[in-house]
Structure 1
């Protein structure tokens, strides 16, 4: 046991305390003249620092946030999406992750800064690619405009997968809305016709694909 006039602690606690960073380790001198910085460094041992500095994961800067300052945000979002690409997520699952996880990360930053338009555009592109393709690699075809998907339902956007289909039907069939069963039946017929239209030398492949498709339909019904 180690004792002093003010406190006592065990050797294990003393060892833990000894590993805590000191004030000099976590303090930087910023925004002063070179003479003042040199004087503080020589007297207290506190090194000089430069903007931007990081606080609670956010870059603190005296100027407007640039796209370079947003690299940690973009890297974090890209890392999250890449970690999800191998999990075979459904469309609904990807939509939930975008609205909760990616939305939470972006809101944390935008609560402190005004994000550059270029940064917002890059985030939208990554989310759009992940939503429709499940990965950031390669090309994809968006079934619905990203603005519709990203906008909250109360503001005229889409909140569920069913509403995505609703918007698509509204646009393609001029207001003559088709039920979910009708849409699924139409998709089922289109895929069956596509598989059946494979070339004769691909009969084995067509048979395998048809069995896979039947198993998907049976499992979802």
Structure 2
């Protein structure tokens, strides 16, 4: 029988060290478990309890059991102040102040009407709806928001009066009704409130829905005592219920027949706004200013011989007629100096999305914009350009946009 070899002392020590590292003792495991903090434990030093409609005895009992401190209203949650009382207009001062800060900052930049409308539709409307998704905004606050937006759009500063030729509520209409697709704040706020009822109908797993079901409805289905409950439930279960409800309650405007010509995607944004105002006779031409007593003498700045009006500027004026007729012939459009006939031709005979049709629509709006710009330069700067200069610019702008 052969004798078994004993492992060398160094090798035995090494093997014991590896075993000790790979298999920790129970004592070590218990120590690790003891020092590991519990998951999602609330920190009493950073937490507070807020009460509303609770008796002092119940409040003292809750505070003694939890060990938290009592907080005071108002308190901000996700940027929105929370109150335990009825909402009043002064409570929305942070919202108005934030909008004023944005408007004051933007006022220092040279922005077109199209750029201002984009900022209103994205930033200011986004702020209003962020607040309006939680509470119903008071009518007074909605009016102040609309006034801030209107003053910013028309460039009206504090203590300044400026005449406007298009009402703000007409801007808050779809393009097919003569607006620019700015959402109406009050109607959209009511639509956001409908989403809370949607949570009850669909039994959404939220604390608010569970509280209403337990303490308000007390186990009854939402709307069980209302007429047309089944139809309302079916409406709220539709994925587009917000869009449909907003369309039902929003303000209405007359149909705008030329919206497809004006709002073509191939046209420049600032040209679209000027074109819309021109078609609706809402530009501050001299005849509009004379009708309000601002200007007493009416004379066209382009031809210096006739009375200025929208039909005269586009395109009955001899200067405008040369520009538009040359441009229209180059793009194979109707070379009519009457704007109403030109728009009707575009609506009936230039429908579609072909390249040539897009170029004609872009050329029409470029001509309107550049002629209005030329008129303003002559009145305020005394600078004049020849018709050939404007024609070259129109052709260049159209080709850069569409090719």
Shared topology, TM-score over 0.5?
yes
Distance 2:279 2:178 in 1: 16
With over 3 angstroms needed to count, the CA separation of the structure-2 counterparts of 1:156 and 1:219, relative to structure 1, is closer
Q: In the alignment, does 2:79 pair up with 1:57?
A: yes
Which consecutive residues of structure 1, in runs of 5 or more, have no partner in the other structure? 10-20, 197-209, 212-216
Q: Does the CA-based 8 Å contact 2:73-2:83 persist in structure 1?
A: yes
Corresponding residue of 2:190: none
Q: In the alignment, does 2:375 pair up with 1:189?
A: yes
Q: Does the CA-based 8 Å contact 1:67-1:116 persist in structure 2?
A: yes
Corresponding residue of 1:149: 171
Distance 2:380 2:109 in 1: 27
Task: Give, in angstroms, the shift of residue 187 of structure 1.
Answer: 4.5
Corresponding residue of 1:12: none
Structure 2 counterparts to residues 106-117 of structure 1, below 5 A: 106-117=128-139
With over 3 angstroms needed to count, the CA separation of the structure-2 counterparts of 1:87 and 1:195, relative to structure 1, is closer
Q: Which has the greater radius of gyration?
A: 2
Structure 2 counterparts to residues 24-39 of structure 1, below 5 A: 24-31=45-52, 32-39=54-61
Distance 2:86 2:375 in 1: 54
Normalised by the length of structure 1, the TM-score is: 0.67
Corresponding residue of 2:43: 22
Give the number of aligned pairs: 191
Task: Give, in angstroms, the shift of residue 94 of structure 1.
Answer: 1.5
Alignment partner of 2:150 out of 94, 107, 128: 128
Corresponding residue of 1:139: 161
Alignment partner of 1:166 out of 260, 276, 280: 276
Q: In the alignment, does 2:91 pair up with 1:69?
A: yes
Q: Does the CA-based 8 Å contact 2:275-2:368 persist in structure 1?
A: no
Task: Give, in angstroms, the shift of residue 49 of structure 1.
Answer: 3.4
With over 3 angstroms needed to count, the CA separation of the structure-2 counterparts of 1:89 and 1:67, relative to structure 1, is same
Alignment partner of 2:68 out of 46, 50, 58: 46
Task: Give, in angstroms, the shift of residue 88 of structure 1.
Answer: 2.5
Distance 2:98 2:144 in 1: 13
